[in-house]
């Protein structure tokens, strides 16, 4: 079987209530829909029924935002039970969570924070991922996060830290390319080198998004706000990833607000498909060159 | 101090304006008062201050947006 016949990439969109009409009327151009799982943990029966209806119409993937798996603190079983129940109810093709900590010492951070990149948080993440896999029944895909602050106390770089977690767990990687792009610009490293260093065989999913620059001149950082279109360099990183990833990829465009017309989002999905095709063609060329050598 | 206590220290630093003010005025003193290890004290003394400022402001904006959303949902549900 040739390389490309084994690979079926798909490209989809994150479900947001304000995009519902646009998504439902364009399911022929959206291969998969990603749903924020936490929005449905305590949702009324009517909303969960609507989610089941969506799942019957389109493949869906569930995305968690509040488990806080990359922490030395054990994840609460109650939160995992909620994810397990939702997975059983809608049978997604996959589920995912962030490599972040979201609370500590009783303080809710209210966002995904990058933990110190140390052996302790790797051990904590591996223990939490094992708990999550046991309770939910399926291993989550784990996502790299964007950070405005260089995580204090870190003793290794992000590529090393993420790779150690992926290699030490049974989890695939959800590679968020805008998070990677933002971190690379904010902390001065090469995102292509990052992609080359993470285990290519573990990359199963991709997130695309946009952001904006914040801060005063000389102290600016790129904020991953999901309120802007995907910038060109992120499509280049998608092509780069597609040239290296050995498995089929699920690519999701995340947009959380300042919604453009659905046509604009569909165009971004098409650009993602073009970038994937470009990267996959490069992968075939390189494989053929290697075979001929 | 355990890794979980260090995470708790960071969580408070990121979201608690008063704790952050005290820390920025005397990083070493506040870190030692919190019981961080020698290494952890050194780590937070050289914290990325630009990042801390931008992160805390970003978190504050998110909280305000959430509060506004919550208030408007409560109002519309009372109608």
Distance CA A94, CA A106 (A): 30
Q: Are A131 and A84 in contact (CB under 8 A)?
A: no
Whether B1 has a pLDDT exceeding 50, the answer reads: yes
Which residues, in sequence order, are CB contacts of A133 under 8 Å at separation 6+?
A139, A140, A170, A171
Predicted confidence at residue B77, as pLDDT, reads 41
pLDDT band of residue B76 (cuts 50, 70, 90) is very low
Whether B75 has a pLDDT exceeding 60, the answer reads: no
Please indicate whether, in this complex, the C-beta atoms of A109 and B11 are within 8 angstroms of each other.
yes
Which residues, in sequence order, are CB contacts of B31 under 8 Å at separation 6+?
B9, B23, B40, B41, B44, B45
Predicted confidence at residue B63, as pLDDT, reads 83
pLDDT in tens, B47-70: 999 999 999 999 999 888 776 655
Distance CA A67, CA B67 (A): 21
Instruction: Dig out the tokens for A174 from the structure.
Output: 């959800």
Predicted confidence at residue B2, as pLDDT, reads 82
Task: Give A61→chain B minimum CA distance, Å.
Answer: 25
Residue scoring higher pLDDT (B1 or B31): B31
Whether B74 has a pLDDT exceeding 50, the answer reads: no
Task: Tell me the sheet residues that pair with A174.
Answer: A143, A205
Q: For residue B2, which of A75, A73, A101 has the smallest C-alpha distance?
A: A73
pLDDT band of residue B73 (cuts 50, 70, 90) is very low
Whole-prediction pTM value? 0.95
Size of interface A-B (CB pairs under 8 A): 96
Q: For residue B14, which of B6, A286, B65 has the smallest C-alpha distance?
A: B6
Predicted confidence at residue B65, as pLDDT, reads 78
**Could you say which of A72, A120, A150 has the minimum Cβ distance to residue B51?**
A150
Q: Read off the pLDDT of each residue in B1-16 and give the average, rounded to a whole number.
A: 92
Whether B8 has a pLDDT exceeding 60, the answer reads: yes
Give chain A's residues under pLDDT 50.
none
Q: Are A223 and A262 in contact (CB under 8 A)?
A: no
Chain A contacts of B40, Cβ < 8 Å? Answer: 153
What is the β-pairing status of strands A250-253 and A221-223?
Answer: unpaired
Predicted confidence at residue B71, as pLDDT, reads 53
φ, ψ of residue A70 to 5 degrees: the values are -90, 70
Please indicate whether, in this complex, the C-beta atoms of B5 and A105 are within 8 angstroms of each other.
yes
Task: Give A253→chain B minimum CA distance, Å.
Answer: 21
pLDDT in tens, A257-269: 999 999 999 999 9
H-helix segments, A33-168? 45-57, 77-90, 119-136, 158-168
Distance CA A38, CA A29 (A): 26
What is the number of residues in chain A?
293
Query: To which residue do tokens 């992926």 refer?
Result: A166
Using an 8 Å CB-CB cutoff, list residues of chain B that contact chain A.
2-12, 14-16, 39-40, 43-44, 47-48, 50-55, 58-59, 62-63, 66
**Could you say which of B10, B51, B59 has the minimum Cβ distance to residue A104?**
B10
Task: Tell me the sheet residues that pair with A12.
Answer: A252
Residue B25: other Cβ atoms inside 10 A: 9
Give the mutation candidate from A123, A149, A161, A182 for the B interface (greatest B CB count, under 10 A). Answer: A149
Please indicate whether, in this complex, the C-beta atoms of B59 and A152 are within 8 angstroms of each other.
no
SS3 label, residue B16: coil
**Could you say which of A105, A150, A215 has the minimum Cβ distance to residue B12?**
A105
Predicted confidence at residue B78, as pLDDT, reads 42
């Amino acid at each position: 079987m040739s390389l490309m016949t084994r690979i079926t990439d798909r490209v989809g969109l994150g479900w947001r209530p304000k995009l519902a009409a646009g998504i439902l009327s364009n399911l022929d151009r959206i291969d998969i829909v990603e749903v924020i799982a936490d929005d449905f943990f305590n949702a009324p029966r009517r909303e969960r029924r609507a989610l089941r209806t969506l799942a019957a119409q389109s493949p869906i993937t569930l995305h968690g935002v509040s488990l806080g798996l990359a922490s030395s603190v054990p994840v609460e079983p109650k939160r995992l039970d909620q994810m397990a129940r939702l997975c059983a109810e809608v049978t997604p093709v996959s589920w995912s969570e962030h490599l972040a900590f979201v609370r500590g010492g009783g303080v809710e951070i209210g966002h995904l924070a990058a933990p110190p990149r140390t052996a302790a948080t790797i051990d904590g993440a591996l223990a939490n991922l094992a708990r999550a896999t046991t309770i939910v029944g399926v291993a989550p895909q784990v996502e790299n996060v964007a950070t405005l602050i260089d995580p204090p106390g870190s003793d290794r770089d992000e590529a090393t830290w993420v790779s150690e977690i992926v290699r030490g767990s049974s989890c695939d990687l959800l590679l968020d390319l805008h998070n990677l792009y933002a971190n690379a610009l904010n902390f001065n490293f090469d995102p292509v080198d990052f992609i080359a260093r993470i285990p290519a065989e573990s990359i199963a999913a991709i997130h695309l998004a946009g952001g904006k620059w914040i801060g005063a001149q000389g102290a600016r950082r790129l904020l991953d706000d999901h309120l802007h279109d995907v910038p060109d360099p992120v499509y280049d990183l998608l092509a780069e990833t597609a040239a290296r990833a050995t498995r089929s990829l699920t690519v999701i465009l995340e947009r959380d607000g300042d919604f453009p017309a659905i046509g604009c989002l569909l165009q971004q999905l098409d650009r993602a498909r073009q970038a994937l095709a470009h990267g996959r063609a490069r992968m075939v060329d390189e494989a053929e060159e290697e075979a001929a050598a | 101090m355990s890794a979980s206590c260090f995470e708790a220290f960071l969580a408070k630093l990121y979201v608690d304006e008063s704790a952050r003010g005290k820390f920025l005025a005397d990083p070493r003193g506040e870190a030692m008062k919190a019981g961080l290890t020698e290494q952890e004290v050194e780590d937070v003394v050289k914290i990325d201050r630009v990042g801390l400022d931008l992160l805390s402001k970003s978190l504050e904006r998110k909280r305000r947006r959430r509060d506004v959303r919550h208030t408007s949902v409560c109002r519309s549900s009372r109608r």
